[in-house]
């Protein structure tokens, strides 16, 4: 996908409005890509971590995932594989919209009934699920660059959580069409250590 450049005669735009413009572009690219993907292939792509990534999960540290919505890269295959390997996995959890993001345990990714929509409508574990502090977080994204920059949904939830947990390993999961040549950068943006797509593994420069 070619980067959408603004027309030459537009004045310079700041990082925030440029991010908003790029979000609209890459969300559409993501939707178009998923709609074009034959149903039979959907269950096969990103169905488990590729071997070099699986080899990183050597300790007992919990792994944070996300529950995909819409055309986000799927994570259910990873979740089920990680559970079968004996790992503890967790999902973002919010007490209320104006509260910080936490992670709580996702005990059984084979049971869709375990999760219920949270304040942001994303399926999340119950308030009784044990709180977890993941050593690795699998991060959703709208766009990424080959060296590890990330454009998220714009709420800053991951950036703020990662600022509080700077030692966390971060792995972005994405479709190939979400690769951008460059992305605007703000001081709080945290680079990803790695991005996995159906065809490639990108090693970030963080």
C-alpha 104/C-alpha 127 separation (Å) is 8
Instruction: Report yes or no: 132 and 64 within 8 Å, Cβ to Cβ.
Output: yes
The secondary structure of residue 179, as a DSSP letter, is B
Confirm whether residue 28 is marked as ligand binding.
Answer: no
Least gap, CB of 11 to ligand ATP (angstroms):
21
Which residue lies nearer to ligand FFO by CB, 88 or 153?
153
Q: How far is the CB of 189 from ligand ATP (least distance, A)?
A: 5
* Shortest Å, Cβ 7 to ligand FFO: 26
Euclidean distance between CA atoms 194 and 169, whole angstroms: 9
Instruction: Please give the residue ranges that form the binding site for ligand ATP (CB under 6 A).
Output: 19, 151-160, 163, 186, 188-189
Closer of 52 and 112 to ligand FFO (Cβ): 112
State the residues that interact with ligand FFO by CB under 6 A: 66-69, 72, 92, 101, 120-122, 140, 152-153, 155, 157-158
Residue ranges of the alpha helices (H) in the chain? 15-36, 39-42, 51-54, 76-84, 157-164
3-state helix, strand, coil in the chain (%, to 5): 25, 20, 55
Distance CA 152, CA 163 (A): 15
Closest CB 158 distance from ligand ATP, rounded Å: 3
Residue 151 touches which of ligand ATP, ligand FFO, none (Cβ within 5-8 Å per kind): ligand ATP
Q: Is 202 annotated as a binding residue?
A: no
Name the residue whose CB lies closest to ligand FFO.
Answer: 153
Distance (Å, rounded) from C-alpha 54 to C-alpha 57?
6
Q: Does residue 73 have a known ligand-binding role?
A: no
Whether 23 has a binding-site annotation, put simply, is: yes
Distance of CA 165 to the CA centre of its chain: 16
Annotated binding site for ATP: 19-23, 150-158
Annotated binding site: 19-23, 72, 150-158
């Amino acid at each position: 996908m070619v980067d959408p450049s603004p027309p030459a005669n537009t004045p310079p735009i700041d990082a925030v409005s440029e991010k908003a413009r790029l979000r609209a572009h890459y969300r559409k690219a993501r939707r178009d890509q998923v709609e074009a993907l034959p149903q039979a292939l959907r269950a096969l792509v990103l169905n488990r971590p590729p071997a070099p990534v699986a080899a990183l999960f050597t300790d007992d540290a919990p792994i944070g995932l996300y529950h995909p919505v819409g055309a986000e890269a799927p994570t259910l295959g990873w979740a089920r594989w990680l559970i079968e390997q004996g790992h503890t996995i967790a999902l973002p959890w919010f007490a209320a919209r104006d509260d910080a993001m936490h992670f709580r345990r996702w005990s059984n990714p084979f049971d869709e009934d375990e999760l219920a929509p949270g304040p942001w409508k994303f399926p999340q574990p119950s308030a009784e699920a044990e709180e977890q502090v993941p050593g690795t977080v699998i991060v959703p994204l709208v766009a990424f660059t080959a060296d590890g920059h990330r454009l998220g949904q714009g709420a800053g939830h991951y950036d703020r959580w990662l600022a509080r947990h700077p030692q966390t390993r971060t792995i972005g999961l994405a479709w190939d069409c979400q690769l951008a040549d460059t992305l605007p950068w703000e001081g709080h943006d945290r680079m990803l250590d790695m991005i996995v797509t159906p065809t490639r593994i990108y090693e970030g420069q963080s």
